[in-house]
Amino acid sequence: MLRVDGLSAWYGEAQALREVSMRVDEGEIVTLVGRNGAGKTTLLRCLMGLHGAYGRTAGTISLFDEDITGLAPHARARGGLGYVPDDRGIYATLSVEENLTLAPVRKAGGAAGPEPWSLERVYETFPHLKERRRSPGTTLSGGEQQMLVLARVLRTGARLLLCDEPTEGLSPLFVQRIGEILREVRAAGTTVLLVEQNVHFAATVADRHYLLAEGRIVESLDRDQVREREHQLLEYLGI
């Protein structure tokens, strides 16, 4: 579904990604694990076409065998990519419902993509958001804000979700709920690439993992390998 070949990225003269090659197959949940500063956010931004504001890139990115390297972010979104940034990007002065209905609902992934989520379906899956639908987005708790951003991107019918640390700073109950939702999302036809520092969560939710260090993919691990090496990975990540 997604294929990255020899992707490099720079901030000015400083190189943040070095010849990254990886793939995500349809129906998978894949995590990118790595220490702070390893390049995880930069990689997601490159995939979404957002790195151009910061510096240059090299390498190729293809989605469904189509080269999307030169496409603008909105064209990538139309092609089926959905992005959940780490700063969440909620509109502060708008209510929860306005945040959910602002973007036009469209079938981002074309005919073969999953159905965009209706408002009813969002409220069924995220009852907290229904209760808070008239409140300004920023009065929500961190967990509720994360739910709002996930729900907003699911309303586009994205085929591949790029999620930047959705569990960061959340209580265990919300972390568990995010895990359930990601599995539900996958069952409904959306593939997920997830940046994650919480190795235990990553091991529970994902099929495969890439370990990123100093801008390079240094290991590719399956679910069992991560479970076996959970303690070693936690130590490596400094958690």
Residues of span 23-82 touching ligand ATP by CB under 6 A: 34, 36-42, 54
Smallest gap from Cβ 56 to ligand ATP, in A, equals: 13
CB closer to ligand ATP out of 7 and 154: 7
Nearest Cα neighbor of 22 from 36, 40, 37 is 40
| Choice from 6, 11, 26, 124 touching ligand ATP (CB under 6 A) | 11
Binding-residue total with ligand ATP (CB under 6 A): 12
Q: Per this entry, what is the length of the chain?
A: 239
Q: Which are the contacts of 108, defined by CB distance < 8 A and separation ≥ 6? A: 77, 78, 79, 80, 81, 82, 116, 156, 157, 158, 159
Minimum gap (Å) between residue 175 Cβ and ligand ATP: 17
Which x/- pattern, by CB under 6 A, does the window 145-184 give for ligand ATP? ----------------------------------------
How far, in Å, CA of 136 to CA of 100, rounded?
Answer: 12
Alpha-carbon distance of 226 to 229, in angstroms, equals: 5
Q: How far is the CB of 91 from ligand ATP (least distance, A)?
A: 23
Stretch that binds ligand ATP, among 11-19, 60-68, 96-104, 218-226 (CB under 6 A): 11-19
Phi and psi (nearest 5°) for 127? -60, -25
Q: Which is nearer to ligand ATP, 46 or 160 (CB)?
A: 46
Instruction: Output 20 or 151, the one with its CB closest to ligand ATP.
Output: 20
Report the alpha-carbon angle 80-82-85, nearest 5. Answer: 160
224, amino acid identity = D
Contact of 142 with 170, CB cutoff 8 Å: yes
Stretch that binds ligand ATP, among 8-16, 63-71, 114-122, 139-147 (CB under 6 A): 8-16
- Cβ partners under 8 Å of residue 124, min gap 6: none
Residue 46 or 122 having the CB closest to ligand ATP: 46
User: Under the rule (CB under 6 A), what is the footprint of ligand ATP?
Assistant: 11, 14, 16, 34, 36-42, 54
